[in-house]
Amino acid sequence: MSKQSQSRLRFNFGFLLEAGLGTSRIIELDYPTIRVAQDLDLTPLQGVFTATRTSEGVYLSGMLSTNMVFECVRCLEDAEQTIEIDLDELFYYPAHTAPPGEYVIRDDGFVDLAPLVRESALLAIPVQPLCKPNCQGLCMECGQNLNEADCGCDPEDIDPRLAALKDFL
């Protein structure tokens, strides 16, 4: 049996479970690099969130940010973008009161935020990431990156099979 390493995003909210409703704590994160899952490292992970005791458990709200490297959908070059991770989640306590699939606080008061941060970071990734808003992409003929240089291909070069359609315009 292999021992699983402890997450660095594991917090003890046991003190909030004993506190009165409305009690809150502000928590600041500043990790140069952190592994939130086997498939995701965040560099850096920074931000602030508030943990507030509610009648159903502990409510987390705040904003985290990280930088992620993507492949531009137009030119296929790597580009780094800042991703904002919005924390807005209720961790139920006791666990048996939680609806199926919701986050819970274990009986020892510990919460691992790594699954929530991973999920939120992946959902914040743009559907079509660009290296810059005015990326010109690749030439459809020769594959030259048009951000670096003009390729010299004739943009009016028409497939001979479709040349007759040009007369209609």
Asked if pLDDT for residue 1 goes beyond 60, the answer is no
Domain count, the chain: 2
* Domain co-membership, 98 together with 167: no
Report how far residue 75's alpha carbon sits from residue 73's, in angstroms, rounded to the nearest whole number: 6
43-102 per-position pLDDT tens digit: 999 999 999 999 999 999 999 999 998 899 999 999 999 999 999 999 999 888 989 989
Are 137 and 75 in contact, with CB atoms under 8 Å apart?
A: yes
Q: How far lies 131's CA from each of 42, 67, 78, 80, 156, in Å?
A: 19, 13, 7, 7, 27
Report how far residue 99's alpha carbon sits from residue 141's, in angstroms, rounded to the nearest whole number: 54
Asked if pLDDT for residue 167 goes beyond 60, the answer is yes
* Domain co-membership, 150 together with 167: yes
* Domain co-membership, 120 together with 164: no
Please give the residue range of the domain that contains residue 19: 10-135
Average pLDDT over every residue of 106-126: 92
Q: Is residue 44 reached through a cis peptide bond, with omega within 30 degrees of 0 on the bond before it? A: yes
Q: Is residue 129 reached through a cis peptide bond, with omega within 30 degrees of 0 on the bond before it? A: no
Give the model's pLDDT for residue 159: 73
Average pLDDT over every residue of 21-27: 95
* Domain co-membership, 119 together with 150: no
